[in-house]
Amino acid sequence: MNNVTPALELKDIFAGYGETEILHGVNLSVNMGEIVAIIGPNGAGKSTAIKAILGLLNITKGSVLLNGNDITDTAPDRVVTKGISYVPQTHNVFVNLSVQENLEMGAWTRSEGINERLEEMFTLFPDLREKRRQAAGSLSGGQRQMVAMAKALMVDAKVLLLDEPTAGLSPKYRGEIFSTIKEINSTGVPILIVEQNAKQALGCANRGYVLVDGTNRFQGTGTDLLEDRDVARMFLGGGE
C-alpha cells in the first residue's frame, strides 16, 4: 500500500483534556476499503483517539489527515461536513423520534437525495424498514445501534468512526452488528472501530492497533494480532 494516501491518518498525536495529556505520540491510519480496529485496556486512550479526530479535545502536537488534507483542530460540526461520520457509544439516537425521523435528522448536511439515501439505508438495514414508524427508544439495543449507524451514514461518509458499537449487547446482537459493519464496509466506506470485544473486532478488521497508556503497543493485520501470544495474553483472554 505504499504511496497510497490513507483515508484517515493520525500522525504523532499528543492530546488530552486541559492539562491532562492522554495520547502520547499515537500513530494510526485507515486505508480506503479497510476496517481498522483499536483495542486495548480501559484508559488506554482508544476513545480519546476518536475524539482527537473529531476536534473534541486539545491536540498539542501532531496532525489528523483526511484523504491527505490536514483537519487538525477543525471544529466538530465542520469535521462532519468534511465527511467523517461518528457513532458515539451512548446517546446515539433520538429515542422519542421514529426510526425514519432519526435517519432524516442524520441527513442535516444533505441538500438533496434524502429519499434515495433513506431507501439505500433500508436496503442495508432491512430490520429498520419494518420498524421505520416505531420510536427508536422502543427498539432492542442491537436495533437501536443499527439506527445509530444508519443515521450516521445518511451523509456521504468518507470514513465511519464507531465507538464501542457492541457495548452492552448480547452475543447474538454483537454478531449481527459486526456482520453489519462488514456490509457497510463492502459499500466502500472505510471504518475505524474502537471496541472492547477484541477477538470479534480483530476477526472483523483488516488491521488493528493495540493502545496501552496512550501509546502504540502493537499493530498488524487482524489475523496477526489474534495469533500474537503477547496480545492474546494481555487482551484476548476470556470473553467472546
Condensed to tens digits (0 to 9), the pLDDT of residues 2-11 reads 568 999 999 9
Please indicate, yes or no, if residue 217 is contained in any of the structural domains: yes
Please indicate, yes or no, if residue 32 is contained in any of the structural domains: yes
Q: Which is nearest to 53 in space by CA: 114, 112, 1, 11? A: 11
Share of the chain above pLDDT 90, in %: 82
Overall number of domains in the chain:
1
Please indicate, yes or no, if residue 226 is contained in any of the structural domains: yes
CATH of the domain at 56: 3.40.50.300
pLDDT at residue 111 in the model:
76
Please indicate, yes or no, if residue 146 is contained in any of the structural domains: no
Q: 147-194 pLDDT, tens per residue?
A: 999 999 998 899 999 999 999 999 888 999 999 999 999 999 999 999
Q: Judging by DSSP bridges, how do beta strands 215-221 and 207-212 pair with one another?
A: antiparallel
Please indicate, yes or no, if residue 116 is contained in any of the structural domains: no
Please indicate, yes or no, if residue 78 is contained in any of the structural domains: yes
Residue type present at position 196: Q
The three cell numbers of residue 32 are 480506503
Burial 87-111 (b: 16+ CB within 10 A, else e): bbbeebbbeebbbbbbbbebbeeee
pTM: 0.93
Please indicate, yes or no, if residue 36 is contained in any of the structural domains: yes
CB atoms within 10 A of CB 85: 23
CA dihedral 121, 127, 128, 133 (to 10 degrees): 150
Please indicate, yes or no, if residue 17 is contained in any of the structural domains: yes
Domain of 51? 1-83+185-233
Q: How many CA atoms lie within 13 A of 119 on its CB side?
A: 4
Q: 92-129 pLDDT, tens per residue?
A: 999 999 999 999 999 977 778 899 999 999 999 999 99
Q: 47-73 pLDDT, tens per residue?
A: 999 999 999 998 999 999 999 999 998
210: pLDDT strictly greater than 50: yes
Using pLDDT thresholds of 50, 70 and 90, give the confidence band for residue 238.
very low
